Amino acid sequence: MLFELANPKRFMEVSGPFLPWLAAATAACLITGLVLGFSTPPDYQQGDTVRIMFLHVPAAWTAMMAYGLMAVASIIALINRHPLADVAAKTAAPLGAVFTTLGLITGSLWGKPMWGAWWVWDGRLTSFLLLLLLYLGYIALGSAIEDETQSARACAILAIVGAVNLPIIEFSVDWWTTLHQGESILRKGGPLISPVFLWPLLLMGVGYTLLFSTLWIVRIRTEILNRRVRTLMLSRAA
């Protein structure tokens, strides 16, 4: 099934009818998550600022997931030359950059009342900032090289090399002394977060993931159509 979808024509046929349902599920999860999240009582330590968690944590997760998908697509593009692999990686980068920026902004808004500072150069924050720079570097590199084949190859190599930053982000709180809290959900002994906060957070996480997926499919479809138009214009000019 995966290899069938690597055909642009097949992808367009399958994704078209599926997209409205995915968008509806995205809206349902985000609306429900926001309503539940912002209806929670104030935290006994963080007060009302705890609600920033429902925007920040899913954004950070989605930013890392997007880069992981981009790196996997880049590996496939280099090795197997699947038609959609380069398109998938290329279209994921701007979305990942947006979610990373959202994670940095909401993290700063959360950090100021909790830590007394908008920003600290600890392992988690610095490596997450590096993630944004990797996204921006990928986009800039793709725009700087005119030849599509060379551009795709250079961007794929950058995406794969940059993936080493993902485990650094994940385990930085364990490797170095940091103000950022450690793992609170996927840990031995169960989550540290109260269910009243956990369920809206998980719902928002699903909503962010679906939002990325919806926008990603839309961008892939748009890029496929743009390439078809360019090919048609070149053939007519010839």
Show me where the domains of the chain are located. 23-38+46-181+190-237
Average pLDDT over residues 74-87: 86
Q: How does residue 179 score in pLDDT terms, banded at 50, 70 and 90?
A: low
Question: What is the spatial distance between Cα 209 and Cα 150, in angstroms, rounded to a whole number?
Answer: 31
* Cut 0.95: pTM above it: no
Contact 100, 135 (CB under 8 A): yes
Helix axes 53-79, 195-237, angle to 10 degrees: 40
Instruction: Identify the three-state secondary structure at position 43.
Output: strand
Asked which of 82-91, 96-105, 162-171 is least confident by mean pLDDT, the reply is 82-91
Asked which of 29-43, 90-104, 120-134, 166-180 is least confident by mean pLDDT, the reply is 166-180
| Residue 204 reports pLDDT greater than 90 | yes
Domain 23-38+46-181+190-237 class in CATH: mainly alpha
- Output the pLDDT for position 188: 65
